[in-house]
Amino acid sequence: MGTATNAVLITALGTGKYVPISYHFTGRDAVGDVKTCFPSLAMWKLLDPHPKELWVLLTDEARHKWWGTFRLVASRLGVVNPREIPIKIGPQSDGREVFAPLAKALRERNLPPVVLDITFGFRMLPLAYLLTMTYIYGLKQPLVDKKDVFDQRPVSVYYGAREMPKNGAAPIVDLTPAFYLVDWFYAARTFSHAGALGPFVEAWEANKSHSPSSRAVGEFGTTIRKLGHALDNGLAIEVGKLAKDALQHIRELQEEDFIGNLEPVAHMLGRLQEGLEGLAFSSDKKILDQEELQRELHGIRWYQLHNRPSLALAWSREWLINWVLWREGKTDAGRWLNYREVRRPIEQLLGCLSNFMDDKKQKHGLNELQREVGSLWKSISGARNYYQHAGFADSPSRSTIQVERMEQILADTRPIGLLREGTEKCRATTQDPDEG
C-alpha cells in the first residue's frame, strides 16, 4: 500500500439495505478483495496510493440509520475519521442543495483531486456528482510536478458493480475515461463560439496516447497546435497553409478509421473541418488572385463571427492592399508579400487617398472608385489603429468592419488607376503605414 495522496474520496449513504460483498478492481494487477457493505471503503482500501480523506454525503435519515455502522467498519479498515457532509433533499431538490455544501468543503481544502464513488446514485445525486466533477475539473490548476495518478487526473470516478458479482466478488469499475470526454465537448464549444483551438489541442494531446500510433496522428497534433497559434495571432498566410495541411490530416484520419466509434471526437473533427474549409489555401502556391481575396474575406467574416474585431480589422486592412495589388497587376508569385518594395508604397498611396477625403478640393479630383477606396481605408485604419495602439485614444473607435463594401469593391470592374494617377497626386505624401 502506497502513502496517502492528497485526494479526497467522496461517497454517499442512503437508507437502503447494504449487505456485505467482496469487491476487487478490474483491469489492475490483483491486490486482493475487500469484503464490506460499503463499496467506498473497499475503494479506499484497494486504491494505491489511497486517498487522504473520505467524505460521506448524508441526509438526517441516512445518518441515523448507517453513520455509526459506517464509521465502525471504516475504522477496522484503517480509514481515520471519515468526514460527514450533511445534505438536505426535499421534494423540489434539483441537485444544487447537495452540490453547495460539497463545493464549500472542497473550496476550504483548496480544490483537492477528487475520487468519486458513484455506486449509490439515488435521486438527484448523479447531477450533484456531475456538478462536482466539472467544478473541480474546471477550476483545478494542473500541477507542474505530477507526483501520482490523482495529480494527473483531478477527477476520478469509480462504480462498485454490486449487481454483477463474478467468482464471488463484485468488480470496481473505473469510469474516469468516460468523464474526460467533456474535454471534447468543451473543445467543440470553444471553437464554435470563440474560434480558439487551445482546448482542442489539449484534448488531442491528452487522448492521443490511447489511440493507434500513426504518421497522421502525430502530424495532425503538430499542425493543429501551430494553426491555433496562427489563428490567435491573425497570421493570414500561415493560417492558409496550416488549415490546408490540417484538412488533409483529417481526411487521412478518417480513412484510417482512427476515430472508430468515438462519436464526440468524430463530431469535433467534423466541426473543425467545416470551420477550416474557407480559410485554407487551395494549393501550395501563395498566389494573389480573386480566389485568394475571397479566402481573405472569408477569414474576415470568420473573425467577425467569433468576436475578434482587432484581427478582422487587421485582415481587412491587408485585404485592401492586396486588392489594389491585384487590380494593378502586381501579383507576381512571392513579390506581393514583399513589404518594403511592394506593400509599403501601396500603404502610402491609400493613406494619401484617406487624407484626401478630408480635403474638398483634393477629393473632387478623385474618381468615384478612388473616393470609395479612400473612404474605406480611412474607416478601416481608424478602427484598426484603436486596437493596434491598445486603446490609447481620446475616444473609442466607432467604425465597424465593412465586409459588404469590400465585396462590392471586389466585384467592381471600373478602372481605378491608383498607381498611375495616385503616385503623381500623392508625391508629397509620406504617410506612415502604422498610422494609416
Distance CA 44, CA 230 (A): 46
Q: How far apart are the first and last CA of the chain?
A: 69
* 44 lies in the same domain as 124: yes
* 370 lies in the same domain as 244: no
- Reference 15, options 59, 45, 78, 73; nearest CA is 59
In a domain, 294, yes or no: no
In a domain, 88, yes or no: yes
* 229 lies in the same domain as 327: no
In a domain, 1, yes or no: no
Q: What is the pLDDT of residues 69-115, one digit of tens each?
A: 999 999 999 888 899 999 887 666 666 777 888 888 988 988 888 89
* 371 lies in the same domain as 229: no
* 168 lies in the same domain as 139: yes
Q: Provide DSSP, 157-181.
A: EEEE-TTS-BTTEEEEEE-HHHHTT
pLDDT above 90 covers a percentage of the chain that reads 27
Cell of 341: 518594395
Q: Provide DSSP, 104-141.
A: HHHHHTTS--EEEE-S---TTHHHHHHHHHHHHHHHPP
* 12 lies in the same domain as 154: yes
Q: What's the pLDDT score for residue 75?
A: 93
Mean pLDDT taken over the chain: 81
Q: What's the pLDDT score for residue 423?
A: 57
The last residue of a domain, from among 161, 179, 197:
179
In a domain, 292, yes or no: no
* 49 lies in the same domain as 141: yes
Give the number of other Cβ atoms within 10 Å of residue 417's Cβ. Answer: 13
Distance CA 61, CA 423 (A): 88
Q: What is the pLDDT of residues 263-319, one digit of tens each?
A: 667 777 888 899 999 999 988 877 899 999 999 999 999 999 999 999 999 999 999
CA angle 420-422-428, nearest 5°?
A: 125
Cell of 408: 462590392
- Cβ pair 275, 235 in contact under 8 A: no
pLDDT above 70 covers a percentage of the chain that reads 82
* Helix spans in 208-333 (H): 215-233, 236-255, 263-276, 290-305, 309-327
Query: What is the sign of the dihedral through the CA atoms of 226, 229, 233 and 239?
Result: positive
* 175 lies in the same domain as 186: no
* 245 lies in the same domain as 153: no
In a domain, 250, yes or no: yes
CA 395 to chain centre: 33
* Sole residue written with cell 485604419: 381
In total, how many domains does the chain have? Answer: 3
In a domain, 3, yes or no: no
pTM: 0.76
One-letter amino acid for residue 165 of the chain? P
User: Mapping DSSP to helix (H, G, I), strand (E, B) and coil, where does residue 372 land?
Assistant: helix
Q: What's the pLDDT score for residue 427?
A: 57
Cell of 391: 486603446
The last residue of a domain, from among 162, 179, 196:
179
Higher-pLDDT residue of 149 and 275 is 275
- Reference 101, options 158, 64, 56; nearest CA is 56
Distance CA 413, CA 411 (A): 6
Q: Write the CATH number for 131.
A: 3.40.50.10770
In a domain, 383, yes or no: yes
* 316 lies in the same domain as 367: yes
The last residue of a domain, from among 159, 179, 199:
179
- For helices 263-276 and 236-255, angle between their N-to-C axes, nearest 10 degrees: 140
CA neighbours within 13 Å on the CB side: how many for 77? 26
Distance CA 158, CA 116 (A): 6
Higher-pLDDT residue of 168 and 310 is 310
Pairing of strands 155-160, 169-174: antiparallel
* 33 lies in the same domain as 58: yes
Query: What is the domain extent for residue 251?
Result: 182-279
In a domain, 355, yes or no: yes
* 390 lies in the same domain as 401: yes
